[in-house]
Chain A
Amino acid sequence: MTVVRDPALAADARRERRFFLSLSLPALFIVGLAAILPILWIIRQSFLTTAGEYTVGNYQKVLSSGLTWSALVTTLELSLGTLAACILLGTPLALALASVRPRLANVLMAFVMLPLWTSILVRTYGWLVLLRRDGLINAALTGSGLTAEPLPLVYNFTGTLIGMVHYMLPLFLLPVYAAMRDIDPNLIRAAASMGATLRQVIRTVIMPLSAGGIFSGSIIVLIYAIGFFITPAVLGGGKVNPLSTRIERTLSTFQDWGSASVLGILLLVLMALIGVMLLAARRLVAQNTVEASHA
């Protein structure tokens, strides 16, 4: 039986859909204005000389420079190092938060979130106070005789990594904690009743079911880490130079907009590559959990 649609009702439905779509317009406008236009402008800049003529020289100069490639390696080391530390520190922490009583979890969560309310600059200089040769940590270490000499904790890779992990950990924690909180406690009870030890419960139930949260957290961390600037600039002491600080120097010291734009595009490409790799990794993990769970 065919039903003749009432055109007035269909028009109502269309109007309703259009209204809800129109709600996204302000955001689309801002994204277009604040993200896409500048990117297009940077791409244009990367092909111009300082005099404003078309050139591919910027690419030749930047891509043939050893400094660029070492900056790329440093960016990758910092990003992946931060991600690894976040996963290793954050996943057990999320598990702990998800398994304590809700009220206690809220209190602990507030402590985790507190740093997010502090300016990144304040926090970075705070770490400087703690990590310096004569800082609190080294004073405690040498004072108690644990180490004879102060440890080199800052103005190097270690210090930069500490500062970055401190910033990223809460951002990583939130989605992972949310995923773990969402796991039905009866699933854990069911696994235990069937004979699973705590370790087996974590491996076969909790981890597969929080993989989505860990994945989201990892993306957030990588997006922040790849372009992170303040922490390497302050805690790196000039010795840790990822792409972000190199862009800044190219601009402030050499006013070379063309080369800086090429570096910016490099950063963008890196981000896209990592995104693709993560997506592929996620698909692989999803497949593996299904297969591994097959008896």
Chain B
Amino acid sequence: MKSLAITIESVHKAYGSYVALDDVSLDIQAGEFLTLLGPSGSGKTTLLMALAGFVRPDSGKLFLGDRDITRLPPNKRDIGIVFQNYALFPHMNVLANVAYPLVLRKVPRAEARQRALDTLARVKLDGLAERNVAALSGGQRQRVALARAIVFEPRVMLMDEPLSALDKNLRETMQYEIRRLHDHLRITTIYVTHDQREALIMSDRIAVMNSGRIQQIDTPQRIYDRPSTRFVAEFMGEANIVAPGSARRIDSAEASRETLMIRAESFHLDAKLVGGDGVALEGILRAKAFRGENWLLTLALDGGQEVLVCIPAALAGGCAELAAGQRMTAYAPAAKVHAIPGAMA
């Protein structure tokens, strides 16, 4: 099975005055697992549906490999899709659902049956082939949808928030399994989610979208540690955007001149753990909350800005004794302090 690269070239889509996709361009390598991440209304699902052929762009081009598919009808695109609500056929049992794409391709009955059964085994649904889809749990439906999308060996796979209806534990299991399945099959995959943790865990690269535009495309680590915009920084977790002048260098006490992004969990309360190269933030403790694996402290800087400081419970010997209103300093190592280019706080 050969995967194909996907190329999206300046795709634009508007619904009336609402711009869903604003000149979006994106290159996805063959075999890559790319996540479109963004809040609802950011255009990520519209982009996915444009690739699937269900949304017709106003302008722009879409390529699978070097084939232009912009005007190709959905049923000729050979793309496996997993829908948010699974979209299993209620009038067919599990086996018939999975064999459906093979039957359409005129695969002989016995072979279609065997391939469907093999694929069901691959997603750990052996023994449920004759089950009615209405009798399946959410997780099992998810697996049937997955099996149905890969059984015909598509060269590209699209997944539209496939795990959003599952409870937390099951979601984490499925994240791992989908990723493992991808490592095995290496089908080029575009995965849509609004859950940044999910995106970080699963992806080779993440494209963060907002208001119909791609804000940043990068590896999970770089998206998290080196966000290129304030939006990306704040969307990717507990980020503190520190205005120029609010932080000072530990070694020279020189005030910062840029807008800094510091993750809540990058802080230490002990300057020795940071060493000389880093920044210090001084302020008054406003609130503290114990969250099991860590403490979350809210620090009001002298400029009035509030900063979230997250201290792992294992390192937070003194946190329980801290009292609101107390003056304190939080330190972050230079490696964890990121200046946001061109951002105004």
Contact = CB atoms under 8 A, between A and B. Distances in A.
Interface of A: 184, 186-187, 189-197, 200, 204-205, 208-209, 289-290, 293-295
Contacts, number: 82
Contact of A193 (B79, B84, B91): B79
B85 A295 contact: no
Contacts of A187: 87, 89
Contacts of A204: 100
Contacts of B101: 194-195
A184 B103 contact: no
Interface string B81-107: 101110101111101100111111100
Nearest to B98: A295
A195 B87 contact: no
A76 to B, nearest CB: 31
Nearest to A295: B99
Given A184-B87, A293-B92, A197 B81 contact: no
Contacts of A200: 104
B75 interface: yes
Contacts of B79: 193
A70 B343 CA distance: 90
Interface stretch (B109-117, B172-180, B259-267): B109-117
6 contacts: A186-B83, A193-B77, A194-B101, A200-B104, A293-B91, A295-B95
Contact of B81 (A190, A289, A290): A190
B95 A189 contact: no
B90 A190 contact: no
B96 A193 contact: no
A294 B95 contact: yes
A193 B52 contact: yes
B227 interface: no
Contact of A295 (B83, B89, B90, B96): B96
B290 interface: no
A194 B100 contact: yes
Given A195-B78, A289-B91, A293-B96, A184 B102 contact: no
Contact of B112 (A184, A186, A189, A295): A295
A197 B74 CA distance: 9
Contacts of B109: 295
B148 interface: yes
Contacts of B333: none
B231 interface: no
Nearest to B83: A186
B85 A195 contact: no
Nearest to B79: A193
A289 B132 CA distance: 13
Given A184-B87, A192-B53, A193-B52, 6 more contacts: A186-B83, A192-B54, A193-B79, A194-B75, A194-B104, A293-B100
Interface string B43-56: 00000000011100
Interface string B288-306: 0000000000000000000
A194 B148 contact: yes
Contacts of B75: 192-197
B31 interface: no
Main secondary structure of the interface of A (DSSP, over half): helix
B80 interface: yes
Contacts of A194: 75, 80, 100-101, 104, 148, 152
Contacts of A190: 81, 83, 87, 89, 148
A205 B89 contact: yes
A290 B93 contact: yes
B170 to A, nearest CB: 21
B81 to A, nearest CB: 4
A254 B189 CA distance: 81
A195 B152 CA distance: 10
A295 B87 contact: no
A204 to B, nearest CB: 8
Contacts of B96: 290, 293-295
A295 B52 contact: no
A284 B105 CA distance: 27
Which of B73, B80, B90, B109 lies at the interface centre, i.e. has the most chain A CB atoms within 10 A of its CB?
Answer: B90
Given A289-B91, A293-B92, A295-B95, A189 B100 contact: no
Given A189-B54, A193-B74, A184 B93 contact: no
Nearest to B85: A186
A205 B116 CA distance: 19
Given A184-B87, A186-B87, A293-B91, A193 B104 contact: no
A204 B83 CA distance: 19
Contacts of B100: 191, 194, 204, 293, 295
A187 B81 CA distance: 11
Closest 6 A/B residue pairs (Cβ): A295-B99, A194-B101, A186-B87, A293-B96, A190-B87, A293-B92
Contacts of A208: 91
Contacts of A289: 91
Which of B54, B93, B105, B112 lies at the interface centre, i.e. has the most chain A CB atoms within 10 A of its CB?
Answer: B54
A191 B75 CA distance: 8
Nearest to A294: B96
Which of A200, A289, A290, A293 lies at the interface centre, i.e. has the most chain B CB atoms within 10 A of its CB?
Answer: A293
Which of A187, A193, A197 lies at the interface centre, i.e. has the most chain B CB atoms within 10 A of its CB?
Answer: A193
Contacts of B104: 194-196, 200
B285 to A, nearest CB: 50
B89 A195 contact: no
A295 B113 contact: yes
